[in-house]
Structure 1
Amino acid sequence: MQRRHIIYVFGLGLGFIGLSQLWQRRFKRGKTTQRPQAGSGSLYRRRYWVDFVDPKQTPEALVKYIKANLPDFSPGLFADFRKATGDGRLMQVGDEYDITILGPWNGSVRVRESQALSFSFSTLEGHPEAGQIHFELKPHPEQAQTWRFEIGSEARSRDGLVEMAYKIGKAVQTQVWRTFCERVVEYAQAEQLGEIQTSTIEQTTEGEVVIHD
């Protein structure tokens, strides 16, 4: 009887540990955000945007769908999003996503803001970059009845090793977010105006500002 009691208690203990570890992984994984100040090398401010007219959804419905279906908009070969914590049908502040990134590094991000027409992520410990990225659908600044979907990031490399691989990483990143913009227009069944635009501004550790695009 005593032996069965010990086995029972031991089993409960193992079960509790297992549930605790699962909870840590799924709901409080303990990863800290990586701010740009903690990164290595130059600070990069990148923008990717596309203009379009006549979307078949309201702006709010379009962004709501994007937030609930991130994998549909990113090229899985280069960056595959998977919801790690939170409701899979919604995007709320504090939710986390794991990203399988082409190359030797994967990463995770946490939702830092989620509004009707915008959302943003902070990179978490272990992500190749230290910083944040913002997605927004907004009226065109000059053209009436025209919309602009824009992605903007501000980040440094996580460490010196990632910084050394910057050129490869930049090419992959550009392809990911250009594809994302293309797929937003496709899903909206809208008419794209012009090409997808990109801009990169580098601020070196010496304070020099370099415009790449």
Structure 2
Amino acid sequence: MKGRWLVVPTVAAYATRTLRVPLAGWSLTGEAQGVGPVTRRVYWIDIASPRRPETEVVTHLLQHLPEMIPPVLAAFRRVRRGGGPTGVGDRFTVLMLGVRRGRVQVVEVDPTHFRLQTLRQHSESGWIEFRSEPLVGNSYRLTVVSQVRASSWYDRATYLLGVGILQRMTWESGLRRALKVSGGRKAGHGTTTVEWP
């Protein structure tokens, strides 16, 4: 009975048109539009003896984002039709855990990083950045930085009840796939989470 009580409101909430199609358009959102504390999560992996340079791996991540993230956790799909490389202004739809729809937009791109900004109706408000930095010797670090607030108190509750763990699995899986693309070996990895009002 408890499980049914939780599933029915969830399905009803996410099946509504209001939560899927924002009334004010797909506008960018930042931490100011969210609720609760700002959460900064950092996921990183150190790669030793790579066969591909860091800039090539970062570019591959951006250009092949849907294949780099396990679709069972977060299915990315570029919105723009037609060919051409992904760049600033391009948007992705994201189906999170098979139930929650959201969108992000590419807002920054350079050889060592790219940033995605959330759009209205995403479960979080803020940004996610993929970046690389050289380390001593023939190695570099790939990092995913997420700085967001929950878009609603409902989203904050779901994050605390387990979605946060699934998010961690999503970005760590993406970094493991990036490690394979690099052709190197893992020299270290880690995760940190900091929250502030």
User: Which SS does the other structure have where 1:176 is aligned?
Assistant: helix
Paired positions, count? 174
1:100 aligns to 2:109 (yes or no): no
CA distance in 1, matches of 2:93, 2:53: 29
Name 1:130's counterpart in structure 2: 125
1:91/1:99 CA distance change after superposition, 3 Å: same
What percentage of aligned pairs have identical amino acids? Answer: 26
- Give 4+ residue runs of structure 1 displaced > 6 Å after superposition: none
Tell me if the contact between 1:86 and 1:96 (Cα under 8 Å) persists in the aligned partners: no
1:78-93 map, 5 Å: 78-85=73-80, 88-93=83-88
Coordinate RMSD, CA, aligned:
1.8
User: Which SS does the other structure have where 1:171 is aligned?
Assistant: helix
CA distance in 2, matches of 1:155, 1:201: 11
1:136/1:39 CA distance change after superposition, 3 Å: same
1:183 aligns to 2:177 (yes or no): yes
Could you list the runs of 5+ residues in structure 1 that have no partner in the other structure? Answer: 1-24, 205-213
Amino acid at match of 1:113: E
Name 1:162's counterpart in structure 2: 155
Name 1:139's counterpart in structure 2: 134
CA offset digits 1:136-190 (Å, max 9, x no partner): 11112xx332200000011000011111111222011100000011110011110
Bigger radius of gyration among the two: 1
TM superposition score normalised by structure 2: 0.83
Name 1:72's counterpart in structure 2: 67
Structure 1 residue 59, shift from structure 2 partner: 2.4
Could you list the runs of 5+ residues in structure 2 that have no partner in the other structure? Answer: 1-20
Higher relative contact order, structure no. (Cα contacts within 8 Å, ≥ 6 residues apart): 2
TM superposition score normalised by structure 1: 0.77
CA distance in 1, matches of 2:98, 2:180: 28
User: Which SS does the other structure have where 2:156 is aligned?
Assistant: helix
Amino acid at match of 2:180: E
Give the stretch that moved more between structures: 124-133 or 161-170.
Answer: 161-170
Match of 1:121 among 116, 125, 129: 116
Name 1:39's counterpart in structure 2: 34
